[in-house]
Amino acid sequence: MEPGNPKYDSRDNCNAIIRTATNELIRGCNNTVIPNSVTSIGEKAFYNCSDLTAVTIPNSVKSIGINAFAGCNSLESVIISKSVTLIGKHVYFPGSRSIEWSSDINSGGPVVSYDPPTMRPVHLNAFSGCSSLNSIIVEQGNPNYDSRENCNAIIEKETNLLISGCKNTIIPKSVTSIGLCAFEGCTGLSFMIIPNSVTSIDRSAFSGCSNLASVTFPDCDSLRYIGIRRIGESAFCGCSSLTSVTIPRTVHSIWAKAFQNCTNLTSVYIPDIDISIDPTAFRGCSNLTSLNIPKRVKPFFYGCSSLTSVIIPNGEKVIPKSAFDGCTGLISITIPDSVEYIGEHAFRGCKELKTITIPNEVIVIGREAFHGCTNLESVTIGNEVMIIDEGAFCGCTNMKSIIIPQSVIYIGQKAFPEECKVIMEECTS
């Protein structure tokens, strides 16, 4: 930056752009040496500086912005000075109103009220996508953060939240949450052991860790620990080396896209627990081959194209919307007598299905429930079905005939393919 610029400078030949009035470093490069007069490192200041190998944050710096060093894929070591008191940014919450949060940010739940007005920090990993990072040190004496037990991570002292990790991180047993994007894009990470103390894994915590082959979740039988309650949105999205996952008994919810595109995932074990699973949680897990879904678990395996067989447990009353949508390899499905409702798009595009039996207790077959099941030849509809919604069997080109029981009171438009002969069961009384 030329001398005399009224707003910016490159003091001390630092190879960076600094906002003079605030001493904020807004743009650096591979050769930047952060001056000791800089008080903050701005959002994306070193974004994609692919040849940057080491960073030492001087004692003058108080805050590091979101994604300040994101994409620095040659960065190997980071030293955070004891002066840094904020990693992320502050967000203003006005008083006397409810603020809706993703629970990935606030482990207390999705709706939080703040009164009077407050400023709260949102912690996002400043080192997301730094795939070569192997050492993270927070200097002793930092009031807000530490790297306890030489863990190679940044942990917020007050909340025991792990904010940033690297391929050599060992999560201490005192950590209670793994934060937003904490290991995002850490392609050098090959395994992770999550201790009993952790209760939540936040949004995108391990997203894009493509070489992560093993995750060990705690199995908390001890009353001393609560255990993991929530696996957040996109928490393990794109972890393409994962082959099997065992969900702990303590988990209450698996959020959207939690395991999306884990393309080598072949086995998922879900214990018989009360748990909420988002419809997209396992979307795109193209090598998932078989599942025995426990009682009380809503089946959601959208786009699992290698899934070949499914047994839905007796007691389940609803097959939800898009539960097996796009499971193109699904050959057999066992629907128990307890099911009363088959949701919209439930089996859409399951083109390897040849036969299906709709149990007597089913009342509704939802819109396009079996749309595009091109090999479906035989369908038996139970004698309590009342509604066959629009396009329910549309595109099932191998269906030549179907018998409709007397119980049916509504058939939607294009419910059956044009070439299918629809036979209405005659009243025998």
User: How do residues 207-248 score in pLDDT, each as one tens digit?
Assistant: 999 999 999 988 765 555 678 999 999 999 999 999 999 898
Would 107 be classed as within a structural domain? no
- What residues are paired with 137 via a beta bridge? 79
pLDDT on residue 160: 96
Would 423 be classed as within a structural domain? yes
Question: With b meaning 16 or more CB within 10 Å and e meaning fewer, what string describes 73-91?
Answer: bebbbbebbbbbebbbeee
Q: How many domains does the chain have?
A: 1
Would 391 be classed as within a structural domain? yes
Q: Domain containing 344: what range?
A: 304-429
Q: What is the token pair recorded at 58?
A: 């001087």
* Closest by Cα among 86, 85, 82, 87 to 59: 82
pLDDT on residue 80: 94
* Closest by Cα among 184, 180, 181, 206 to 193: 206
pLDDT on residue 113: 33
pLDDT on residue 98: 30
Would 214 be classed as within a structural domain? no
CA 240 – CA 265 distance, rounded (Å)? 7
Q: pLDDT under 70 in the chain at which residues?
A: 89-123, 220-225, 290-299, 427-429
CB atoms within 10 A of CB 380: 13
pLDDT on residue 106: 36
Would 364 be classed as within a structural domain? yes
Would 308 be classed as within a structural domain? yes
Q: What is the CATH number of the domain that holds 347?
A: 3.80.10.10
pLDDT on residue 8: 97
Would 28 be classed as within a structural domain? no
Would 103 be classed as within a structural domain? no
